[in-house]
Amino acid sequence: MNIELSQRWVWITGASSGIGLHLALEAARRGARVLLSGRHAETLGEVARQCQTQSNHAGHSGGHEVLAFDLLDRSARVAAPARALAIAGSFALVILNAGISQRSGFEELATAGFDQIVDLDFMAPVDLVRGLLPSMAAGSGFVLVSSVAGLIGAPRRSAYSAAKHALTGFGAVLRSELWARKVSVTTAFPGYVRTALDKAALGPDGKPKGVQDPRTQSGALPQPVARHILKAALRGKAHAYVAFNLESRYALFSAHYLPGLYARFSSRRLS
């Protein structure tokens, strides 16, 4: 199934930076109108202006909009699909990309921090999908941005890895259930991507630790990652594996076929 974007709306959560920002620019370049979500209206307004520049350069009319809200506020996120549909009418693509990571072992992480990561990375996309489903027509689709940590256990990412695994499973079920309706579900599994994800990742006290992981900082650039994800989604692909370095490939192989060896190898990360 192919999804046509021209003059149709794409809703992107986590559109203020990193992968989401570049997904927005790429969607605008391909002729879509983009609804940009995140917590900060001013930052999103700047992204909307950048999207408009992309649209203009590519000869499209653009007309991008902002819908700012906090995904951790349950009543705000349950109300968000109706607000989004009031702006757009309907969506060709809904990209559930917003996320937060973790930089602490399970034992040391405060319960509230664990819950916050699961709420943002798993329950929030589920609530948005639930609210939007009745409006999704044939020839439209969802993108769930999971992670390599949604395929293997990532030490010091217990909540993050659990939430991304849950998202992976949710996407797999949704894909089967929506098959006959011709609504696609693409799950994206990025490896290391050079974004601000590290900085916002929660430390043991449930607050951002602000530490940069050298693996993220030497990871893939977000532009080609966003292009790869969007291309896969427009073709209705089930999975988009992107930015897998040698370490990620080895981890994926050993975690599935040699789980004991993987535990030993990945435990080195704790030091």
Ligand X SMILES: NC(=O)c1ccc[n+]([C@@H]2O[C@H](COP(=O)([O-])OP(=O)(O)OC[C@H]3O[C@@H](n4cnc5c(N)ncnc54)[C@H](OP(=O)(O)O)[C@@H]3O)[C@@H](O)[C@H]2O)c1
Binding residues for ligand X (CB under 6 A): 14-20, 38-40, 43, 70-72, 97-101, 120, 145, 147, 190, 192-193, 195-197, 200, 216, 219
Closest separation between CB of residue 234 and ligand X, Å? 19
Closest separation between CB of residue 43 and ligand X, Å? 6
Output 178 or 202, the one with its CB closest to ligand X: 202
Output 90 or 217, the one with its CB closest to ligand X: 217
| Pairing mode of beta strands 140-145, 9-13 | unpaired
Q: Is-contact 144 100, C-beta < 8 A?
A: no
Output 43 or 50, the one with its CB closest to ligand X: 43
Indicate the burial class of 240 (C-beta count within 10 angstroms; 0-12, 13-18, 19 or more): buried
**Chain centre to alpha carbon of residue 266:** 24
Closest separation between CB of residue 20 and ligand X, Å? 5
Q: What is each CA distance from 41 to 45, 47, 100, 105, in whole angstroms?
A: 6, 10, 19, 33
Output 60 or 132, the one with its CB closest to ligand X: 132
Please tell me the total number of residues recorded for the chain in this structure. 271
Q: Report the alpha-carbon distance of residue 264 to residue 105 in Å, rounded.
A: 16
Residue whose token pair is 């007309």: 63
Q: Report the alpha-carbon distance of residue 204 to residue 137 in Å, rounded.
A: 43
Output 3 or 220, the one with its CB closest to ligand X: 220
Residue closest to 87 by CA, chosen among 61, 64, 60: 64
Closest separation between CB of residue 96 and ligand X, Å? 8
Name the 3-class secondary structure at 207. coil
241 is catalytic: no
Q: Which of 160, 192, 241, 262 is catalytic?
A: 160
- The counts of H helices and E strands in the chain are 11, 7
Residue closest to 186 by CA, chosen among 61, 1, 9, 5: 1
Closest separation between CB of residue 228 and ligand X, Å? 13
Catalytic residues: 160
